């Protein structure tokens, strides 16, 4: 019992007294199993490394996206705020000039300030909804009252009380309007 596997013993009368050693012997099989196990372990280690790297990359992308969202939330109105600063400066100059300016120059200053504000809003996609004469649309207009009108079709907008505004096509505030209705026929009493 030397600890080695049993080898076939030649029988008497065999022509060959030597046994053939092939790769099918238990020692060769053990070597094959060990090399396969080593290859499997190497592949497992490689896959584990890839998993750890991918997991770290996903975590980094998540953190970066979270920072980007926070940054966008904090500074989304930065450009709009800068545009409004010119309007504020213009208003402050107009207020300082009220003591020494005449009505015409104050009006010109107010018109220039309104033009600055309108330009700033337009650069950011804010547009006026001024539907005078158009058909009433409850999606874009808010009817305040109805008024008889012989000039306009019933359901058309007679007067805009307050302009509406849309941001890139999405309604911010509906226009407040007065809507035309048929002129009632006067009844004459005979």
pLDDT in tens, 67-118: 999 988 888 888 888 888 989 998 898 888 888 888 888 888 899 999 999 9
pLDDT band at 183 (very low <50, low <70, confident <90, very high): confident
Q: If you average pLDDT over residues 161-167, what whole number do you get?
A: 94
* Terminal Cα distance for the chain, rounded: 141
Residue 10 reports pLDDT greater than 60: no
What is the pLDDT at residue 1? 47
Q: If you average pLDDT over residues 54-72, what whole number do you get?
A: 94
Percent of the chain topping pLDDT 70: 83
What is the pLDDT at residue 43? 96
**What angle, rounded to 10 degrees, do the helices at 103-123 and 78-96 form?**
180
Q: If you average pLDDT over residues 10-21, what whole number do you get?
A: 51
Q: Domain spanning 126-183 has what CATH number?
A: 2.30.22.10
Residue 167 bridge partners (DSSP): 126, 170
What is the spatial distance between Cα 96 and Cα 92, in angstroms, rounded to a whole number? 6
What is the spatial distance between Cα 1 and Cα 121, in angstroms, rounded to a whole number? 98
Residue 159 reports pLDDT greater than 80: yes
Report the mean per-residue pLDDT for the chain.
84
What is the pLDDT at residue 80? 86
Task: Report the range of poorest mean pLDDT among 27-31, 45-49, 63-67, 125-129.
Answer: 27-31
Residue 13 reports pLDDT greater than 70: no
What is the pLDDT at residue 138? 92
What is the pLDDT at residue 6? 55
SS3 label, residue 111: helix
**What residue segments make up the domains of the chain, in order of their start?**
25-76, 77-124, 126-183
What is the spatial distance between Cα 131 and Cα 175, in angstroms, rounded to a whole number? 8
Q: If you average pLDDT over residues 118-138, what whole number do you get?
A: 91
């Amino acid at each position: 019992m030397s600890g080695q596997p049993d080898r076939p013993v030649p029988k008497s009368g065999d022509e060959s007294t030597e046994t053939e050693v092939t790769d099918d012997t238990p020692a060769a099989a053990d070597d094959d199993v060990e090399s396969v196990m080593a290859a499997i372990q190497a592949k497992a280690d490689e896959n584990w490394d890839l998993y750890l790297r991918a997991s770290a990359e996903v975590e980094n992308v998540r953190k970066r996206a979270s920072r980007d969202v926070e940054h966008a939330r904090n500074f989304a109105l930065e450009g709009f705020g800068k545009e409004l600063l010119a309007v504020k400066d213009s208003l402050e100059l107009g207020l300082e000039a009220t003591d020494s300016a005449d009505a015409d120059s104050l009006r010109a200053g107010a018109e220039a300030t309104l033009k600055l504000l309108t330009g700033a809003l337009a650069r950011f996609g804010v547009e006026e909804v001024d539907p005078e004469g158009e058909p009433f649309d409850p999606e874009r207009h808010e009817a305040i009252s109805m008024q008889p009108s012989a000039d306009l079709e019933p359901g058309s907008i007679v007067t805009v009380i307050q302009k509406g505004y849309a941001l890139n096509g999405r309604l911010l505030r509906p226009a407040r309007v007065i809507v035309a209705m048929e002129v009632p026929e006067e009844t004459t009493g005979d």
